[in-house]
Amino acid sequence: HYAKNQGRNNFQLYNPEVHSQKRENLIINELKQAVSKEELSLYFQPKITVKSMQAEEAEVLLRWNSEKLGMISPGEFIPIAEKNGLIVEISEYVLRSAFKQLKEWEDTEFPICCLAINISPVHFQYGNIYQMLVGLIEDYQVDPSKVELEITETSVMKNIDQAVQTLESLRELGFRIALDDFGTGLSSLNYLQQLPIDTLKIDRTFVNDLDQDTTKQAIVKTVIQLANHLGAKVTVEGVETKQQAHMLQLLHCDHLQGYYFYKPMPCRQLEKVCDGEKVHM
């Protein structure tokens, strides 16, 4: 009826901006009910500890199977949720579910030692992330050192002083802090030296072609040196081939993550993967 209202030969129906606005509205409507309808679930992508060559940690990645719209990737719905504030409720759902899972593993002596959780810049800057996490520690009695919070450069750029303060108080609680997608934002080495971080997570754009591209090799090498200097560990995401994995191992990265090892998977599958067996390359 939209086209009819606009008259014949109306190009607006085919205007990609209008289309994407329509889709965005659809997504907002469905997303508002996604938590209560239990359409969101947590997937886990194992990270390999290079020293032991075992899967000992995992990153939590959100999945949304909408009754009306089907599977929608976080790359699409997270930015929309950030625009209208829905992200805080979603973020709380992710954090609560992850803490619940850690508690369950602790009770069953499951060997997984750490979960990395992505924190939206919007939640980090405007939601009360600190209070939320304090509440979750109380509710689940989980050791915060088992949680690594993945923040991005966007989270800290606008107000570096406040970001440093928040990160320091989170670290005092025992959380580990990772800087995600490192190298893709408007990186400034100036703020990097101020940030209290435990892990630098090198973006996957530096990994594709790594085995052929000597400039990328130099960048990765330099970032590892820099991280060492800052006392931070290095995780590399997006490892897709044996050659890349081998090269990154030689460069002394601490953790490797990517489709070459494991894709994101449901919880029950993760429990089978983190069984203390060495991963063969």
Binding residues for Mg ion (CB under 5 A): 118, 150, 180-181, 237
**Rounded Cα–Cα distance for residues 186 and 184 (Å):** 7
Q: Using CB distances below 5 to 8 A depending on partner kind, what does residue 120 bind out of ligand C2E, Mg ion, none?
A: ligand C2E
Q: CB under 6 A: which stretch of 29-37, 59-67, 127-135, 248-256 binds ligand C2E? A: 59-67
Q: Using CB distances below 5 to 8 A depending on partner kind, what does residue 74 bind out of ligand C2E, Mg ion, none?
A: ligand C2E
Going by C-alpha positions, the residue among 158, 149, 137 that lies closest to residue 91 is 149
Minimum distance between the CB of residue 273 and ligand C2E, rounded to whole angstroms?
A: 14
Going by C-alpha positions, the residue among 177, 180, 97, 201 that lies closest to residue 142 is 97
Q: Is 51 helix (H, G, I), strand (E, B) or coil?
A: coil
Q: Does 148 bind ligand C2E (CB under 6 A)?
A: no
Q: Does 75 bind ligand C2E (CB under 6 A)?
A: yes
Q: Does 118 bind ligand C2E (CB under 6 A)?
A: yes
- List Cβ neighbours of 27 (8 Å cut-off, separation of 6 or more): 69, 72, 76, 77, 80
**Rounded Cα–Cα distance for residues 64 and 75 (Å):** 11
Exactly one of 57, 153, 181, 254 binds ligand C2E (CB under 6 A); that residue is: 181
Minimum distance between the CB of residue 184 and Mg ion, rounded to whole angstroms?
A: 7
Q: Which tokens go with 31?
A: 């997303």
**Rounded Cα–Cα distance for residues 204 and 220 (Å):** 11
Q: How far is CA 94 from CA 43, 60, 182, in A?
A: 10, 8, 23
Q: Does 167 bind ligand C2E (CB under 6 A)?
A: no
Q: Using CB distances below 5 to 8 A depending on partner kind, what does residue 89 bind out of ligand C2E, Mg ion, none?
A: none
Q: Does 244 bind ligand C2E (CB under 6 A)?
A: no
Q: Using CB distances below 5 to 8 A depending on partner kind, what does residue 57 bind out of ligand C2E, Mg ion, none?
A: none
**Sign of torsion, CA 16 18 24 30?**
negative
Number of residues that bind ligand C2E (CB under 6 A): 22
Going by C-alpha positions, the residue among 169, 263, 244, 165 that lies closest to residue 202 is 244
Exactly one of 61, 102, 195, 253 binds ligand C2E (CB under 6 A); that residue is: 61
Q: Does 46 bind ligand C2E (CB under 6 A)?
A: no
CA torsion angle for 9, 3, 32, 38 (degrees, to 10)?
-100
CB nearer to ligand C2E: give 184 or 228: 184
Q: Which tokens go with 9?
A: 């030969």
CB nearer to ligand C2E: give 135 or 183: 183
Q: Does 144 bind ligand C2E (CB under 6 A)?
A: no
Q: Does 127 bind ligand C2E (CB under 6 A)?
A: no
Q: Using CB distances below 5 to 8 A depending on partner kind, what does residue 148 bind out of Mg ion, ligand C2E, none?
A: none
Q: Using CB distances below 5 to 8 A depending on partner kind, what does residue 61 bind out of ligand C2E, Mg ion, none?
A: ligand C2E
| H or E, element range at 129 | helix 129-140
| H or E, element range at 3 | helix 2-6
Residues of this chain that bind ligand C2E (CB under 6 A): 45, 60-62, 73-75, 78, 94, 118, 120, 150, 180-181, 204, 237-240, 258-259, 264
